[in-house]
C-alpha cells in the first residue's frame, strides 16, 4: 500500500521535489529530473540515468560525485518522455558528451533512444546503455534481450567511475557495455506493490509462495515455489547466477537488493548465506552492498546481482563516490582488532572464615530456591499467562539454577558472603532472560553490598541489605505499588522486615512476619484489575511479569523462613 500522497498523479513529481529539497548537497531539481549540484570538470562525460519513478533510490539517488551526473524521472513505473530525457541531457552535458543509462524496457528504450537521436541531430554526442542484467528474462546467449533490474546500479557505478576518471565517451561507453555484459541478477518476490491511489496490489503472489524471476513492475516470473528459508534461498539465488560465471573469473562485486518491504535485517540474515556460497565457489567478493538500491514501491522480495570482475572493473566498482544511496571511500585504516573477552575463572577477594561460612549458607539458600522454583514452574507460568507471555516460571527456574551454579563455584573458590551473593546475582540476571531476571539480579546484587567478605554476618546487615535491594529495584525498574509487579510484594516484605526486626531483634521472627506480608500482598495484587492496553504493549507487558512476579517473590521469602536459624 502506498499511503502518503496528496494527488496520486502528482506522486512522482512531488517525491522528486522532496528528494531534491533534502539532498541539495548532491542534486539540483530541474523539470523532469535532477542534475548534479556539485562542481564538475569541463569536458567530463556526463552519465545520465533514468526510468520510471517508484524505484527509489533508482534513479535520482544515484546522482553525485563518482556516479551519475543527472537522472530523469518518469511517472510511477512509466518511462520519462523523450523531451524530458533530452532536456535533462542538455543541462547535464559539460562538453564531453552523454552516456544514457536505463533499464531495458520498451518504453525506456523508445524514449531514451528517441532522445538520443534528437540530441545527435542537435550535435550532442549521446550513447545509449540499456542495462540487461535479469537472467530470468532472457537466455544467456542473447543477454541483450534481458530486462534491467538491480544490476542498473552496478553498471552505472562503473560508468560513473570511468567518467569521473576523465575517460573519453568512447571509453566510458565501452567499459559500461563490458560491465553490462558481465552483470547478472536474479530475484524473487513474496508480495506485490500497490500504486499510489490504488486500493489493490498491482499483482499478487499466492500466500506462502514466492515468484522466481519476477520483474520490478510485476512482469511475469519464470515459476513459483514455496517460500524458502534463508539458506535455501541463498542456494537458489547463487546457483542460478553461478551458472553464468565466466571461466576466468575469481572475483565478483555483489549487490543484495531489497525491493521495498523486505527489510534490511532480512537482507543481513541472507547475506552471510550468500557470501558463504560464493566463497565455496572460489569467488572473492569485493565491496558487497546490501540494502535498498532498486525498489518497486512496497513490493516484498529481493534480488542478488553479481558483476564478474576484471582488474579494470574492480577498480571502477571500488572507486570513491558519494550519493544519497551509495558512499564509497578509499578503504579506511581499521583499528587493531577488538580483543574479545576470554573466558576466565572468576577470582574473588580474600575472605575470612566467618564470611566463607555465611557464603556457604547463602549458596544453600539459593540451591533451595532453585528447587522450589523448579517445582512451581508450571503454576507460575499459568499465573503469568493471564497477563503476560507465560514464561515467568521458566525464567525464574533458569535464573535460580544459574545462580546456584555460580554460588557453588564461588564457594568452591573460597569466596565470602558478599562475593557469593554478587556472583549468584549476576548469573541470575544474565541467564534468566526477560525483565524479571534483571530485577532479581539487581535485587540480589544490591543486597550483597550490605554483606561482607571479611566481617562475620550480623542480622542487622541482612535487614539493611533488604532495604538496599528495594532501593535498587525501584530505582531501576520504576514500578510502584499497585502496578501489579514484584514491587507489590517486595515493599511490604521489606517494610515488615525492617519494623519487625526493630521490634523483635530476631531475624527469623522478622523474616517470618515479612514473608507472610509478602504472601498476603501477592494475593491482593492478583485480585487487582490489570491496566489494559488497547494494543499489546510489549514493553509494559514485561515489567516484572505483572502479578506472577509478586507471587514468586513471596514464594522465595516463604522458602527462606525454614532455612533461617533462630
Across the beta sheet with 223-226, the strand order is 223-226, 209-212, 183-191, 300-308, 251-258, 284-291
- Our finding on whether 331 is near a copy of itself (CB under 8 A) is yes
Nearer to a copy of itself, 224 or 523 (CB): 224
SS3 243: coil
Alpha carbons 263 and 281: distance in angstroms, whole number: 27
Nearer to a copy of itself, 65 or 364 (CB): 65
Alpha carbons 493 and 422: distance in angstroms, whole number: 21
Looking only at residues 13 through 32 of this chain, which bind a copy of itself when binding is defined by CB under 8 A? Answer: 14-19, 21-22, 24-25, 28, 30-31
- Our finding on whether 9 is near a copy of itself (CB under 8 A) is no
- Our finding on whether 389 is near a copy of itself (CB under 8 A) is no
- Our finding on whether 344 is near a copy of itself (CB under 8 A) is no
- Our finding on whether 45 is near a copy of itself (CB under 8 A) is no
Which residues 6+ apart lie within 8 Å of 145 measured at CB?
Answer: 104, 132, 137, 138, 139
Instruction: Check whether the bond before 57 is cis (ω within 30° of 0).
Output: yes
178 catalytically annotated: no
x/- mask, a copy of itself, residues 271-290, rule CB under 8 A, reads xxx-x------------xxx
CB of 435 to a copy of itself, least distance (A): 5
Size of interface with a copy of itself, in residues (CB under 8 A): 131
- Our finding on whether 203 is near a copy of itself (CB under 8 A) is yes
3-state secondary structure 482-548: CCCCCHHHHHHHHHHHHHHHHHHCCHHHHHHHHHHHHHHHHHHHHHCCCCCCCCCCHHHHCHHHHHH
Distance between start and end Cα atoms, the chain: 70
- Our finding on whether 535 is near a copy of itself (CB under 8 A) is yes
- Our finding on whether 209 is near a copy of itself (CB under 8 A) is no
Of the candidate spans 354-362, 377-385, 427-435, 547-555, the one that interacts with a copy of itself by CB under 8 A turns out to be 427-435
Q: Which of 217, 239, 392, 545 is catalytic?
A: 217
Of these, 302, 372, 380, 400, which contacts a copy of itself (CB under 8 A)? 302
Looking only at residues 536 through 565 of this chain, which bind a copy of itself when binding is defined by CB under 8 A? Answer: 536-540, 542-543
Looking only at residues 250 through 269 of this chain, which bind a copy of itself when binding is defined by CB under 8 A? Answer: 260-269
Which residues 6+ apart lie within 8 Å of 452 measured at CB?
Answer: 355, 416, 417, 418, 461
Instruction: Look up residue 148 and give its DSSP letter.
Output: P
Of these, 59, 62, 77, 348, which contacts a copy of itself (CB under 8 A)? 77
SS3 105: coil
Pairing of strands 126-131, 98-103: parallel
Alpha carbons 332 and 443: distance in angstroms, whole number: 45
Nearer to a copy of itself, 166 or 272 (CB): 272
CB of 154 to a copy of itself, least distance (A): 16
- Our finding on whether 117 is near a copy of itself (CB under 8 A) is yes
Of the candidate spans 152-160, 307-315, 355-363, 439-447, the one that interacts with a copy of itself by CB under 8 A turns out to be 439-447
x/- mask, a copy of itself, residues 349-368, rule CB under 8 A, reads --------------------
DSSP string, 358-397: HHHHHHHHHHHHHHHHHHTHHHHHHHHHTTS-S-HHHHHH
SS3 302: strand
- Our finding on whether 43 is near a copy of itself (CB under 8 A) is no
User: Which positions are catalytic?
Assistant: 217
Amino acid at each position: 500500500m502506498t499511503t502518503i500522497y496528496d494527488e496520486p498523479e502528482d506522486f512522482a513529481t512531488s517525491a522528486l521535489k522532496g528528494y531534491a529539497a533534502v539532498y541539495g548537497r548532491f542534486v539540483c531539481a530541474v523539470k523532469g529530473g535532477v542534475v548534479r549540484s556539485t562542481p564538475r570538470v569541463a569536458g567530463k562525460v556526463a552519465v545520465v540515468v533514468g526510468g520510471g519513478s517508484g524505484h527509489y533510490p533508482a534513479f535520482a539517488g544515484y546522482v553525485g560525485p563518482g556516479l551519475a551526473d543527472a537522472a530523469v524521472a518518469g511517472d510511477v513505473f512509466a518511462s520519462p518522455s523523450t523531451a524530458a530525457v533530452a532536456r535533462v541531457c542538455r543541462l547535464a552535458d559539460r562538453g564531453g558528451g552523454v552516456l544514457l543509462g536505463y533499464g531495458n524496457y520498451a518504453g525506456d528504450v523508445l524514449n531514451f533512444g528517441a532522445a538520443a537521436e534528437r540530441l545527435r541531430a542537435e550535435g550532442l554526442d549521446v550513447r545509449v546503455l540499456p542495462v540487461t542484467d535479469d537472467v530470468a528474462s532472457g537466455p544467456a546467449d542473447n543477454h541483450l534481450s534481458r530486462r534491467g533490474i538491480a544490476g542498473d546500479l552496478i553498471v552505472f557505478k562503473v560508468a560513473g567511475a570511468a567518467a569521473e576518471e576523465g575517460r573519453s565517451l568512447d571509453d566510458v561507453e565501452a567499459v559500461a557495455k563490458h560491465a553490462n555484459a558481465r552483470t547478472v541478477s536474479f530475484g524473487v518476490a513474496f508480495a506485490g506493490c500497490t500504486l499510489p491511489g490504488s486500493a489493490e496490489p498491482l499483482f499478487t503472489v499466492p500466500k506462502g509462495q514466492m515468484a522466481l524471476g519476477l520483474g520490478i513492475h510485476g512482469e511475469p516470473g519464470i515459476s513459483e515455489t514455496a517460500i524458502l528459508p534463508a539458506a535455501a534461498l541463498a542456494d537458489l539465488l547463487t546457483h542460478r547466477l553461478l551458472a553464468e560465471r565466466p571461466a576466468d573469473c575469481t572475483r565478483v562485486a555483489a549487490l543484495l537488493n531489497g525491493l521495498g518491504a523486505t527489510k534490511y535485517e532480512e537482507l543481513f540474515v541472507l547475506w552471510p548465506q550468500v557470501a558463504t556460497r560464493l566463497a565455496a565457489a572460489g569467488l572473492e567478493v569485493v565491496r558487497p552492498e546490501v540494502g535498498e538500491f532498486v525498489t518497486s514501491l512496497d513490493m516484498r522480495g529481493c534480488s542478488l546481482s553479481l558483476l564478474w570482475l576484471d582488474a579494470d572493473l574492480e577498480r571502477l566498482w571500488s572507486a570513491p563516490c558519494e550519493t544519497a544511496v551509495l558512499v564509497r571511500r578509499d578503504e579506511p585504516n581499521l583499528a587493531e582488532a577488538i580483543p574479545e573477552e576470554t573466558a576466565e575463572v572468576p577470582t574473588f577477594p580474600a575472605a575470612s572464615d566467618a564470611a566463607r561460612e555465611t557464603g556457604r549458607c547463602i549458596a544453600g539458600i539459593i540451591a533451595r530456591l532453585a528447587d522450589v522454583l523448579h517445582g512451581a514452574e508450571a503454576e507460575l507460568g499459568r499465573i503469568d499467562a493471564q497477563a503476560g507471555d507465560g514464561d515467568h516460571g521458566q525464567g525464574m527456574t533458569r535464573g535460580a539454577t544459574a545462580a546456584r551454579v555460580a554460588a557453588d563455584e564461588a564457594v568452591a573458590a573460597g569466596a565470602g558472603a558478599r562475593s557469593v551473593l554478587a556472583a549468584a546475582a549476576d548469573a541470575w540476571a544474565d541467564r534468566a532472560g526477560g525483565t524479571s531476571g534483571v530485577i532479581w539480579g539487581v535485587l540480589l546484587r544490591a543486597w550483597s553490598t550490605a554483606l561482607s567478605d571479611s566481617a562475620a554476618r550480623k542480622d542487622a546487615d541482612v535487614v539493611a541489605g533488604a532495604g538496599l535491594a528495594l532501593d535498587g529495584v525501584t530505582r531501576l525498574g520504576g514500578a510502584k505499588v499497585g502496578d501489579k509487579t514484584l514491587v507489590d510484594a517486595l515493599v511490604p516484605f521489606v517494610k515488615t522486615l525492617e519494623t519487625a526486626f526493630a521490634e523483635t531483634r530476631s531475624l527469623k521472627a522478622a523474616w517470618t512476619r515479612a514473608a507472610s506480608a509478602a504472601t498476603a500482598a501477592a494475593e491482593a495484587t492478583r485480585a487487582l484489575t490489570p491496566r489494559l492496553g488497547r494494543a499489546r504493549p510489549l514493553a509494559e507487558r514485561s515489567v516484572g511479569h505483572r502479578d506472577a512476579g509478586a507471587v514468586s517473590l513471596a514464594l522465595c521469602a516463604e522458602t527462606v523462613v525454614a532455612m533461617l536459624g533462630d
